[in-house]
């Protein structure tokens, strides 16, 4: 395996390299145009991603990945900070090789430098050549802070800057108590359940995207994963893995104990956990809904959610 870094704002991770269609072109280029890709997808296109298991996950600019195989213009990668039982090293899947990069200086700074986290819903990365929209929770190494400009190192080896009011700088590694998962970089400050809810509310009405892990579109577990990450807590990538991990480590809570920020889980008729949301309080939960196709707040104890409810986990 060799180390590389994501060199586009959002890399979409595919199940196999031959799956993208012509209409997916702007998601596989470098640079990408994720808004253009999403705006061109019909409802049926989005359903296809789900029904045929086309997409696996997404990964943001600057994130470290491990290349395990190369095939033509594609690379099979593992994503170490997206925990999954699919592979103990990290979440697996295929990305276009042109969306990867490696720079020795960036590699050194990745774990040793203070972290610059995008904490606005989206932020503008300014370089000499262009302006790029970055997702919420993009994380890059800090170079320097000059007035309202925060200069960061990029995995291409170049530099760019972000506006001070769109980011948070984390100077020291944040250590979470075991058995929480550990990130290979300084995390944001650990906060409480109500903060997880507030982080999520800023994305109300954001369109749902199967495999989505960015503020251009989340899926249900990508949403819960990222709202925890925004509050200093790293949890598994997928709903089923989150629920299993939480139960194994004693984080399960009863209906009567539910508090804002707890994760609520739902299972299909076979008992497989296939959906997750964030409990808001007063019997409501916040989730990236694959039936309504937006992030929304809904009653928990009604209809199919009451029928499918299978438990809750408190990671905070």
> Does 204 share its domain with 309?
yes
Q: Which two tokens stand for residue 277?
A: 């949301």
> Does 91 share its domain with 146?
no
* Domain stop point among 67, 101, 135: 101
Q: Give the pLDDT score at 86.
A: 95
| Backbone region of residue 90 per phi and psi (left: phi > 0; alpha: psi in -120 to 50; beta: other values) | left
Select which of 76, 180, 228, 275 is catalytic: 275
* Domain stop point among 101, 133, 149: 101
Range of the domain at 248: 193-313
> Does 146 share its domain with 89?
no
For residue 4, which of 83, 99, 84 has the smallest C-alpha distance? Answer: 99
How many domains would you assign to the chain?
3
310 flagged as catalytic? no
Quick one: 26 exposed, middle or buried, by C-beta within 10 A (0-12, 13-18, 19+)? middle
> Does 84 share its domain with 162?
no
Interatomic CA distance for residues 275 and 58, integer angstroms = 18
Select which of 174, 180, 220, 225 is catalytic: 220
Select which of 76, 174, 225, 287 is catalytic: 287
Give the largest Cα separation in the chain, rounded. 56
Interatomic CA distance for residues 114 and 293, integer angstroms = 36
Query: What is the reported pTM?
Result: 0.95
220 flagged as catalytic? yes
Q: Give the pLDDT score at 178.
A: 47
Whether 175 is in a domain gets the answer: no
174 flagged as catalytic? no
Per-residue pLDDT of the chain (316 residues; tens, 9 = 90+): 999 999 999 999 999 999 999 999 999 999 999 999 999 999 899 999 999 999 999 999 999 999 999 999 999 999 999 999 999 999 999 999 999 999 999 999 998 889 999 999 999 999 998 999 999 999 999 999 999 999 999 999 999 999 999 999 998 655 555 466 877 778 898 999 999 999 999 999 999 999 999 999 999 999 999 999 999 999 999 999 999 999 999 999 999 999 999 999 999 999 999 999 999 999 999 999 986 789 999 999 999 999 999 999 999 9
> Does 50 share its domain with 150?
no
Strand, coil or helix: 223: helix
């Amino acid at each position: 395996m060799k180390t590389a870094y994501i060199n586009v704002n959002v890399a979409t991770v595919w199940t196999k390299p031959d799956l993208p269609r012509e209409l997916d072109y702007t998601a596989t280029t470098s640079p990408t145009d994720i808004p253009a890709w999403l705006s061109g997808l019909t409802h049926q296109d989005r359903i296809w991603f789900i029904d045929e298991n086309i997409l696996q996950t997404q990964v943001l600019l600057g994130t470290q990945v491990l290349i395990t195989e190369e095939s033509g213009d594609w690379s099979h990668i593992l994503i170490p900070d997206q925990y999954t039982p699919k592979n103990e090293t990290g979440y697996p899947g295929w990305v276009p090789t042109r969306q990867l990069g490696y720079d020795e200086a960036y590699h050194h700074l990745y774990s040793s430098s203070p972290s610059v986290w995008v904490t606005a819903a989206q932020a503008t990365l300014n370089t000499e050549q262009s302006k790029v929209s970055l997702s919420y929770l993009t994380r890059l190494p800090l170079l320097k802070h000059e007035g309202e400009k925060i200069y960061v190192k990029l995995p291409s080896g170049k530099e760019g800057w972000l506006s001070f009011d769109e980011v948070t700088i984390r100077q020291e590694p944040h250590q979470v108590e075991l058995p929480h998962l550990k990130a290979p970089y300084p995390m944001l400050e650990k906060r409480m359940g109500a903060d997880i809810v507030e982080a999520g509310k800023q994305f109300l009405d954001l369109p749902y995207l199967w495999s989505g892990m960015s503020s251009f579109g989340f899926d249900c577990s990508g949403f819960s994963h990222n709202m925890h990450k925004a509050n200093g807590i790293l949890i598994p990538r997928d709903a089923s893995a989150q629920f299993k991990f939480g139960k194994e480590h004693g984080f399960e809570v009863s209906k009567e104990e539910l508090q804002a920020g707890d994760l609520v889980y739902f299972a299909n008729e076979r008992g497989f956990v296939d959906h997750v949301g964030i409990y808001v309080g007063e019997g409501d939960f916040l989730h990236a809904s694959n039936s309504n196709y937006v992030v929304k707040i809904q009653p928990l104890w009604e209809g199919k959610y009451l029928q499918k409810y299978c438990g809750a986990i408190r990671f905070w």
